[in-house]
Copies of this chain bind each other. A is one copy, B any other.
Amino acid sequence: MSRKKTIDQAMLFKETEKLIMESGYSGFHFKALSARLGVARSTIYNYYTKKEELVTDYMVHLLENAVAQMDNVDQEEEPVKELIRLWSKYANMHQMLQIMPYIDKKASPAVEENTKKMFGLFIKMKAKIEATLKAGQMKGVVRDDIHMKTIVGLVMSTVQIPVHHETLDEWVNEVYQLLMSGLKK
């Protein structure tokens, strides 16, 4: 009744994420990954023949989820707040995106395609954020005297704010307030 020495994509993705989060892209090897999965290194090659493929596949998957969720933001009462909440939930995604520049996009056609997909998804995501903010401007809730790109930039950068709060909701509330009314007293 030996434990199945087999792996599925869910596990692959989970461990990929964990490994990259902990060790960065340079610390992400099939060696380390296989160790965590408890399989032989070569086994992973039955699923992915390029480590870039695995990574980019995972990232596409991540982005797709995020974009899907953002589609529902506008149904909420305070869309911007909801955006912040969602965004923070995908803090790992943000980190993952930072490793993009170091991935060899030419590694394989699949990687190239994934890269394009990601680029598209990222654009979509930004557009979504922008749309939400624009809607805010229409309703007169968001200022329009500042370049939209700057506003989007600030909103997106909030993901970096460390969480020293009891709950994520608390963090969201504080950041939202700060973001909306500014530092000024």
Please state if A150 and B179 are interface contacts (CB–CB under 8 Å). Answer: no
A177 at the interface (CB under 8 A from B): yes
Copies in the assembly, this chain:
4
Give chain A interface residues in 151-185, CB to chain B under 8 Å: 151, 153-162, 164-165, 171, 174-175, 177-185
Q: Would you call the interface of chain A mostly helix, strand, loop, or mixed? A: helix
Please state if B102 and A177 are interface contacts (CB–CB under 8 Å). Answer: no
Contacts of A120 in B (CB 8 A): none
A26 at the interface (CB under 8 A from B): yes
Residue of B nearest to A147 (CB): B174
Please state if A149 and B178 are interface contacts (CB–CB under 8 Å). Answer: no
Please state if A183 and B174 are interface contacts (CB–CB under 8 Å). Answer: no
Q: How far is the CA of A146 from the CA of B174 in the complex (A)?
A: 7
Contacts of A165 in B (CB 8 A): 147, 150
7 additional contacts, CB 8 Å, given A144-B185, A154-B175? A137-B185, A142-B183, A147-B174, A153-B162, A156-B160, A180-B182, A181-B182
Instruction: Return 15 A-B CB contacts under 8 Å, by A number.
Output: A24-B102, A25-B26, A26-B26, A98-B98, A143-B181, A147-B164, A147-B174, A150-B174, A151-B178, A154-B161, A155-B183, A157-B159, A157-B160, A180-B183, A181-B182
